[in-house]
Structure 1
């Protein structure tokens, strides 16, 4: 969700309770278009984030302490010169617009009183953060500088007079009657009501316009020209409902997510997203901070995941080519296995061969109805030709044996790499990805990371002694079933091995998708009770969900007691063999948010 004018006004309401009279102690610029003002008001410390990023322009309080560049950017140095040690006088918003002005009182070089304005303009790719002198209205500097070569409306350069961005000529949402709304929107008769609301009423994002139409019980495809007095009245009522929430300061920030995807945030319930998981965060500042922090974490996770997927997929392609080559070698070698029969036929019929023949036709020794046409080397004697065929046969036998062993290993490697690709695709946290990375390093698919040399001058370690950090134990999902049973789910090969070989006991019930790479699932049975069918089926749906069969309608899941599960010597992580199994066919089912603990 874009930070619209209405939501911004609710944010500023919260900031007005904390920032005025607050002292700015420190200013940092951790990213090219993001500035943090760090200060305190009385005994309360705060960190105000102001971003002019094209995609994520915003302001809110944050608790995230980002790493700063070794050399502060020029704009940061300018802000430090004029604002550090100053006090915030007020924070205000141009009504319903996404422009925020923070007035800061400080001192000039001579110790005299001076006032500056820090202006955040949230306008997509035209967003900017500008410092200006309040008395003269001149720009001191901007995080983005540009001249008339970029904008015909204004220049953002030191010494230039500050001009507001071009007016959007939108009507304020309050006070607004249904007659006035109809008059404004009717010029957009062919547009959808949602889009027309967003383009003509100030402070509305697409998400807010969609919510207004939903609360007004209008179809999302309805056009302005199809609306009458009743529809416009419903729109005004829905709009007033939303405005009343923040006028009464009844803000309860919410974040909406669908699976891993963060959909949006809002200062009020979004009824049109009722089927999406809703998470209440408290204050709106905490909500916005949590939403964008989650977006950053998700982006980092996706980049990390894609990096690992690229390397593993390259290994998968390599193994596929290797398997195809080995299969071709076996097929070619098998063609020479007939050479033994040809050698036997030559020795059996030596009396018929005088030497110098190029072709010899003989009847099979075991099947008289079969005839063999044998191509001979006329430069060799019959005995030498027979020996040549025996040599070809021995070579083919060795090739088939060796290539078959290599093919078996290649198939095992391919099965393992396929399972890693599945767990990478289904990993839900950055910790899961780190576990998979460590597994790939241990298996030799990724190079080991070089150890950083210690910079300490004094060390108590003996010469040649290295620091050994114990790897943290894997953390399979722990699901608490309503009937009082616990279900454990391993989401990668390391967790699978730990769950099956370390945690499980003989009588525990173990589940895995039949002939499909996936999670090991365990139902501990500590008191000897029989596991109810409902619990078994629920565990089976989780096993199906965390497998390559996730998208299938029905997936076969095997279950057996842990005592019948074995790991072959030298087997890849996550690979086991088992027997005494029974099979359930289930529909893959995800774990409902909030129903498990890590």
Structure 2
């Protein structure tokens, strides 16, 4: 998530913690630790793709249980004094040096190394150069991190901040990108591409470059270093991803979104976004599988009920059997059948007899079967209607899950599918409320899930304007009119919201229906979020983007 240059900026910011005592260490889930110092909190995240260190806000950890490793860190480091924070060269390794006097008065100097190496990220506690314990042991041939063994830092690369212009040389058979990343600390793939872009040079073997191209690369390399000293950490959008960089990115398609005076604020902000995105992706997959299982069960139920209905539809035939056998005698028996006169057709027919029963008993059996099926048929048809409605609801819910990237929406769907008993201490504000937008003096409210959609319609005024993307799953949107008539611009803005918060988010020219709330109604037995409406108009709009929300909303 962060490269060596951004980590340098964060390390400089963390210097304000020097001389403070470490009061507590908390663990959140598996990969995240929080160090509580006297004035501030440091988060250490070892989760792949999200690995970072930064200042952050206090959290509530009452429900989380620390691992044995964290318990060890508490016993060794808690109430210790932070005497140094530094970065190893420009590598993605940061360490805290903590001075601690134990219970018997013996002084210890511990080093807590944070290694931010993607899937190999690690946290290592060291004393006198020996590993006391670590988050994960590493036993590779290149470098080992093992409890009880000496701790060694990587030394294969150079710190670009310590290289003089005159000493910089490009001489290798490797490609430019591989040479820079293997020779110098701190450079991510994105920064290497930025160097190539600034130099206007292709990623070729260095031996194939002309002297002019080498000179251009050298100039671009040191322009990166110059920019590092005078730039803030900014968030960029590049290839549908968010990127943190303290080097201005001039590559095509790199769009600067926001810059931060505090490096930690930049890291923390992006972490919150990416963490939610990862959680949403995981929850989406879990919900999708759960809903697919529910759909399968519902389809099997429908098949079973339809078969029962087909069987019940034979009831008139059974009634006829009972009638014909009613006037037959045992002399009409021929094995397991009775040959009787059918006065409906004027011909003799064979009626199957019930095994072990007489002709009269068989007649009574068929009458009872008819009565049972006649009573059962409307019950089965109602059950089939409910199952089909439930199946339609689940299929729409699956579409919502597949199209939603919003964690709060997915959590709302989860609660809708698997409602849990509300705890006595659970507050209403624990759950996210409606999305609310202000536009041209009008309040526009958007439901986050099907339960909120129902609640929004139920609580809105009859004159409020209700909107929904036509014929597809999506959020309910309501314009609060408050005795005013919303102009077309407000209708179109609200319709853009309805299109965005629907399965047509990535489409264009989306039809959105709108009508007064009094024309929206929910028949009994309809699943959550499903309604019928009349007297509506339709407007065609493009879904609003998040940037447009910021630009257009008051």
Whether the 8 Å contact between 1:416 and 1:572 is mirrored in structure 2 is yes
Q: Go from structure 1 to structure 2 and tell me whether the alpha carbon gap of 1:230 and 1:572 turns closer, same or farther (over 3 Å shift).
A: same
What's 2:6 paired with? Answer: 7
Structure 2 SS opposite 1:28: strand
Name the CA distance, whole Å, in 2 between partners of 1:103 and 1:469.
42
Deviations 1:415-467 (A, max 9, x none): 33344444445556555455445544xxxx54536x57xxxxxxxxxxxxxx8
Q: Find out whether 1:476 has 2:434 as its counterpart.
A: yes
- Structure 2 Cα separation of the partners of residues 102 and 470 of structure 1: 41
Aligned positions of 1:408-447 closer than 5 A: 408-425=385-402, 431-440=408-417, 445-447=418-420
Structure 2 equivalent of residue 164 of structure 1: 153
1:420 and 1:493 in contact (8 A); partners too: no
Contact kept in structure 1, 2:507 and 2:543, CA below 8 Å: yes
What is the distance in 1 between the residues matched to 2:320 and 2:312?
A: 15
Take 1:235 and 1:263, find their aligned partners in 2: how far apart are those partners? 26
Deviations 1:254-274 (A, max 9, x none): 365998xx6332224444484
Q: Give me the TM-score of the superposition, normalised by structure 2.
A: 0.77
Q: Does 1:333 align with 2:312?
A: yes
Residue 143 (structure 1) aligns with: 134
Partner of 1:496: 453
Which structure 2 segments of 5+ residues have no match? none
Cα distance in 2 between the residues matched to 1:373 and 1:171:
105
Select which of 193, 210, 220 maps to 1:210: 193
Give the drift of 1:170: 5.2
Is residue 565 of structure 1 aligned with residue 513 of structure 2?
no
- Alpha-carbon distance between aligned partners in 1 of 2:428 and 2:57, rounded to the nearest angstrom: 30
Is contact 1:118–1:129 with CA below 8 Å preserved after alignment? yes
Q: Secondary structure at the match of 1:183?
A: coil
What's the counterpart of residue 132 of structure 1?
127
- Give runs of aligned pairs for residues 75-224 of structure 1, distance below 5 A: 75-80=73-78, 84-88=79-83, 90-104=84-98, 117-124=111-118, 125=120, 127-133=122-128, 138-139=129-130, 141-143=132-134, 156-158=146-148, 161-165=150-154, 167-169=155-157, 172=160, 175=163, 182-184=170-172, 187-189=173-175, 193-217=176-200
Q: Cα distance 1:280–1:428, how it changes in 2: closer, same or farther (>3 A)? A: farther
Gaps of 5+ in 1: 366-370, 453-466
Deviation at 1:247, TM superposition (A): 1.6
Tell me: CA distance 1:252–1:155, structure 2 relative to 1, closer, same or farther (3 Å): closer
SS of the residue corresponding to residue 21 of structure 2 reads: strand
Alignment match of 1:264 (pick from 232, 240, 243)? 243
Say whether residues 1:245 and 2:227 are aligned partners: yes
Q: 2:278 & 2:88 partners in 1: Cα distance?
A: 32
The Cα shift of 1:75 comes to 3.7
Structure 1 residues 199, 412: CA separation in 2 closer, same or farther (over 3 Å shift)? same
Partners of 1:23 and 1:468 lie apart in 2 by: 36
Question: Aligned pairs, how many?
Answer: 540
1:242 is paired with a residue of what secondary structure?
helix
From the superposition, tell whether residues 36 and 559 of structure 1 become closer, same or farther in structure 2 (CA, over 3 Å).
closer
Q: Return the offset for 1:24.
A: 2.0
Q: Retained in 1: the 8 A contact 2:233–2:244?
A: no
Which residue number in structure 2 is paired with residue 288 of structure 1? Answer: 267
1:204, distance to aligned residue in structure 2 (A): 0.5
Give the equivalent residue in structure 2 for 1:581. 536
User: 1:243, CA displacement in angstroms?
Assistant: 1.9
Aligned-CA RMSD value = 4.8
1:28 to 2:16 alignment: no
Q: Is the 8 A contact 2:413 2:449 kept in 1?
A: yes
* Structure 1 residues 332 and 512: alpha-carbon distance in aligned structure 2, compared to 1, 3 A threshold: farther
Deviation at 1:588, TM superposition (A): 4.7
1:282-303 deviation per Cα after TM superposition (whole angstroms, max 9, x unaligned):
3112222333344444444555
